[in-house]
């Protein structure tokens, strides 16, 4: 690393550290606020629970980020670029196996909420439940496409010719799954309108899952000696 890159990297780590601390503070505030309304019932109680859950996630995530970028930790300066490349690519592969699993889990949990929304018997929590599998499907696809923050900031380590080819193959398969899935969802919607929304949600989740898993699988195969 030359002097300029070192200064740039130090500033980025400093921003990351203070960003992590800010997340912890926001998370603690959300937990405290949610806790103050914990004895409420109905929508207020649901909102309080959501605030506590989200706040806890912010505290944990912020603490991890701040710990990873803590001042005084100089190991990152000594990390060889190939080691860093391997570490970042391994991290990406793990995310591309984990997030699809989470997306499918949330999709399965969202079936009843979707049915309640379709029947007009929904609550605010039902909309959140439906949002989660969609978000994770999009997140998985974004990581596979290299649109996420980690990929954009570490492009020189995460992008090369092989990555572009792997991405193309993964997204081709994901597109096929999306076409098949939405066609099936259309059929469901015409035959049984009440199940069309559920089918569409699964089609969306399946496409995102396919992009992630196929990318991670091809990446893993590329690392094996033939």
Partner 1 sequence: MGDPRLASRLKEARTAAGLTQADLAEKAGVSRKTINTVENGVFIPSTILALSLARALGARVEDLFWLQDEGHLADPRS
Residues in touch with partner 1 (CB under 8 A): 80-82, 85-86, 89, 160-163, 165, 169, 219, 222-226
Taking residue 34's Cβ as centre, other Cβ atoms within 10 Å add up to 20
Enumerate residues 6+ apart whose C-beta is below 8 A from 169.
Answer: 214, 218
- Look-up of token digits 């066609």: 183
Task: Specify the residue, 48 or 89, whose C-beta has the smaller distance to partner 1.
Answer: 89
**Residue placing its CB nearer to partner 1 in the complex, 151 or 163:** 163
Question: Please, which residue, 82 or 149, has the CB nearer to partner 1?
Answer: 82
Q: Using the minimum distance from each CB to partner 1, give the nearer residue, 14 or 81.
A: 81
d(CA 179, CA 174): 9
Minimum Å gap between C-beta 217 and partner 1 is 13
| Smallest distance from partner 1 to CB 160, Å | 5
Identify which of residues 116 and 169 has a Cβ nearer to partner 1 in the complex. Answer: 169
Q: Structure tokens of 75?
A: 């190991």
CB of 210 to partner 1, least distance (A): 19
If the CB atoms of residues 24 and 151 are measured against partner 1, the closer one turns out to be 151
Per-residue burial over 116-125, b = 16 or more CB atoms within 10 Å of its CB, e = otherwise = bbeeeebeee
Q: d(Cα 153, Cα 12) in Å, to the nearest integer?
A: 10
- Residues with Cβ within 8 Å of 140's Cβ and at least 6 positions away in sequence, in order, are 96, 99, 100, 103, 208, 209, 211, 212
Smallest gap from Cβ 165 to partner 1, in A, equals: 6
CB of 127 to partner 1, least distance (A): 41
Cβ 44 to partner 1, closest distance in Å? 51
Structure tokens that stand for 27 in this block:
């998370």
In angstroms, rounded to a whole number, what is the distance separating the alpha carbons of residues 200 and 192?
13
Joined together, the tokens standing for residue 47 give 């909102």
């Amino acid at each position: 690393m030359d002097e300029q890159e070192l200064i740039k990297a130090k500033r980025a780590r400093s921003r990351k550290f203070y960003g992590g601390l800010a997340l912890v503070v926001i998370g603690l505030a959300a937990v405290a606020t949610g806790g103050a309304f914990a004895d409420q019932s109905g929508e207020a109680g649901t909102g309080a629970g959501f605030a506590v859950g989200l706040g806890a996630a912010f505290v944990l995530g912020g603490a991890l980020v701040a710990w990873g970028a803590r001042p005084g930790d100089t190991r990152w300066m000594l990390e060889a670029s190939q080691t860093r490349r391997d570490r970042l690519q391994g991290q990406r592969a793990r995310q591309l196996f984990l997030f699809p699993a989470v997306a499918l889990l949330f999709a399965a949990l969202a079936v009843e909420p979707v049915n309640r929304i379709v029947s007009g018997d929904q609550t605010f929590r039902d909309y959140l439940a439906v949002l989660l599998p969609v978000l994770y499907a999009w997140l998985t696809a974004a990581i596979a496409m290299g649109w996420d923050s980690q990929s954009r900031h570490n492009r020189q380590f995460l992008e090369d010719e092989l990555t572009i080819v792997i991405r193309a193959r993964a997204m081709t398969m994901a597109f096929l799954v999306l076409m098949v899935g939405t066609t099936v969802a259309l059929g469901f919607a015409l035959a049984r309108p009440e199940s069309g929304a559920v089918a569409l949600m699964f089609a969306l989740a399946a496409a995102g899952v396919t992009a992630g898993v196929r990318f991670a699988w091809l990446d893993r195969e590329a690392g094996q000696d033939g």
